[in-house]
A and B are shown apart, each in its own frame.
Chain A
Amino acid sequence: MSLFAFLGTLEIGLVYGLVALGVYLTFRVLDFPDLTVDGSFPMGGAVAATAIVAGVNPWLATGLAVLAGAACGLVTAFLAVRCGILHLLASILTMIAAFSINIRIMGRPNMALLGEPTIFTPFDNLGWDQLYVHLGLVFLLVLFSALFVVRLLSSDFGLALRATGVNERMVAAQGGSIGFYTYFGLALSNGFVGFSGALFAQSNSFADVTSGVGTIVVGLAAVILGQTLIPGRRIWVAVTAVIVGSILYRLAVAFALSTGMFGMQASDLNLITAVLVAIALIAPKMKGKVRLKAVTR
């Protein structure tokens, strides 16, 4: 793999690290299987791209994208909490609705940002290599997001949020509102996903409604991959793990893309990616088993 490809892979892994962060918040912390991300990711891109093309400051546009993502989360929470729709279905409803809304937002299915100002533009003109600049800025934004989540979950408020996913009754008994924490958690999670979508669109110069397909799969793979390879109950370990998981997933894709020399063809990509991720998940267990055998002997 060339340096360019490696750095590009790191960058996209970090961008999707925000999706992993969001999925971690819903699946792990809140114990709420949330598929909204397939809609909130492209919505973040759609809102950011539309706002930028309309002349809005790119940072403000990115902020709007976060709010749009959070709004998607609120809709899912409303359907689940207020209307009592099964969590999974509630999120599916938001996800499919978001597809149509995204086309409404952009007025078209694909919006290009080539030549438009983005949050990266001011740094592009400093004379440094664009690749490092993009990677550095994305890294900083992801770092701040991760620090924010660690800080939040460590607080008393975060404790209640985590308790919601573990023992709803206890939270209710302590006078906490399950509904409130669900609303908050889903909004926060999808806010991060919208943020990710906005970064993706600006770094790659286009927003496309189809870019949401499979976001949840990537997010879940990142969370499980990261937490399997970096186990630990501490919050900062878990948050680091899911972001590392996202990068590892992208490295698996990049590796799968370079297997042409082994007689694999282009359409084998998904299969190779799946096999690589499966190996990454199984390998630590195998190691444990081998060790166990040695001990029993």
Chain B
Amino acid sequence: MKKLKVISALFAAALVIVSAGAVFAQTYKVAVSQIVEHPALDATRQGLLDGLKAKGYEQGKNLEFTFQTAQGNPAIAVQIAKQFVGEKPDVLVGIATPTAQALAASTRTIPVIFTAVTDPLGAKLVKDLEHPGGNVTGLSDLSPVAQHVDLMQELVSDLQAIGVIYNPGEANAMALVDLLKSAASAKKIQVVEGTALKSADVQSAARIIASKVQVIYAPTDNTVASAIDALVGVANQAKIPVVGGSTSFVENGAVASLGFDYYQVGVQTADYVEAVFQGKKVGEIPVTFAKGSDLFLNQQAADTLGITLSEAMLKRASSIKK
């Protein structure tokens, strides 16, 4: 009996301490829904987490960070959205287009921040980039495609044909390929398209176009990103370089990449989340495009293919893999 009393007293004391702690430090809840797990999107999520930490929001202390992935299935993305909205977090974060749409459709009140969405207007996430209005805003990862074409011209003298592998089922990729076509046609360069519906199709799609082009462009397409090694492998056999839209591709053997470090995209997304924490109205935060397109070069891959990286390029590069 005495023992029981001691235990209940201890328990009561513990309760008081815990609830007092809760009063002093406000905990912010962030729920992140991601369409599929692959290096670029995972890096975005990690960047977001680290970006928040740098701002003083630390997981386990004053930040509750929940994360789910739909494993590529939009129906599950919808279920995750319902689950998250029911938990009433302070901020919902949607990584890539369908997850962001599912979140936006599930709530009109909880702030939704999207990131790694190429075309937020086309996805109807916002009506106006400057004044989003509703409860949705975020960061677009539209690649500087025109600069990619310039880069490919710099790499390959007398460039006539660019090959591109993408998934026609991905809204992100379609937007980029349209931009690529208009940028290339302005320079009278032909674009040869190869489509891959699954990451398993990337290799065969690359084989088909490899003999017809002088360089292969790897856009920030989720399917291509998942199979970038296969794409680089084919290009190496055909002795043509791969130029990518994500800097992580250089690590996998692309000769050059000009684009975002998706980790940095995540860090920049943390600005949006913080703004919401501080009580800023979501509808008044403009949509911005991810900053910091860095040039990454791969000297090793260039040497293997017998490509000389010009002095000017080497100077511009923010990272060179030897």
Contacts and interface: CB of A to CB of B under 8 A. Distances in A.
B68 interface: yes
B68 A208 contact: no
A49 to B, nearest CB: 11
Contact of B79 (A8, A110, A267): A8
B104 interface: yes
A270 B169 CA distance: 22
Q: Is the interface of A mostly helix, strand, loop or mixed?
A: helix
A204 B79 CA distance: 10
A12 B105 contact: no
A235 interface: no
Given A112-B101, A269-B71, A12 B169 contact: no
B151 interface: no
Contacts of A175: none
Interface stretch (A60-68, A75-83, A209-217, A236-244): A209-217
A37 B6 CA distance: 63
B98 interface: yes
A254 B81 CA distance: 11
Interface size class of A (residues with CB under 8 A): 35 or more
Contact of A206 (B69, B101, B127): B101
A257 interface: yes
B67 A266 contact: yes
A114 B76 contact: no
Given A99-B169, A112-B123, A12 B71 contact: no
A5 B83 contact: yes
Contacts of A7: 82
B48 interface: no
Interface in B118-140: 122-125, 127
Interface in A1-56: 1-9, 12, 16
A12 B70 CA distance: 15
B321 to A, nearest CB: 29
Given A2-B86, A114-B101, A205-B104, A109 B79 contact: no
A260 B174 contact: no
Contacts of A6: 86
A113 B69 contact: no
B86 A1 contact: yes
Given A108-B122, A204-B105, A205-B101, A5 B87 contact: yes
A27 to B, nearest CB: 20
Contacts of B202: none
A250 B76 CA distance: 9
Interface size class of B (residues with CB under 8 A): 35 or more
B104 A103 contact: no
A148 B126 CA distance: 40
Given A2-B87, A108-B122, A204 B69 contact: no
Interface string A71-111: 00000000000000000000000000001100100001110
A257 B68 contact: yes
A99 B197 contact: yes
Nearest to B170: A109
B146 interface: no
Interface string B54-76: 00000000000011110111111
Interface in B161-209: 167-171, 174, 197
B78 A115 contact: no
A260 B66 contact: yes
B174 A108 contact: yes
B98 A206 contact: yes
B234 interface: no
A204 B78 contact: yes
Max chain A C-beta neighbours (<10 A), residue from B74, B97, B106, B168: B74
Given A103-B169, A109-B169, A114 B124 contact: yes
A167 interface: no
Interface of A: 1-9, 12, 16, 99-100, 103, 108-110, 112-116, 200, 203-206, 208-211, 213-214, 218, 250, 253-254, 257-258, 260, 266-267, 269-270
8 contacts: A4-B86, A8-B81, A12-B78, A100-B168, A108-B171, A116-B124, A260-B66, A269-B71
Interface of B: 34, 37, 66-69, 71-76, 78-83, 85-88, 97-98, 101-102, 104-106, 122-125, 127, 167-171, 174, 197
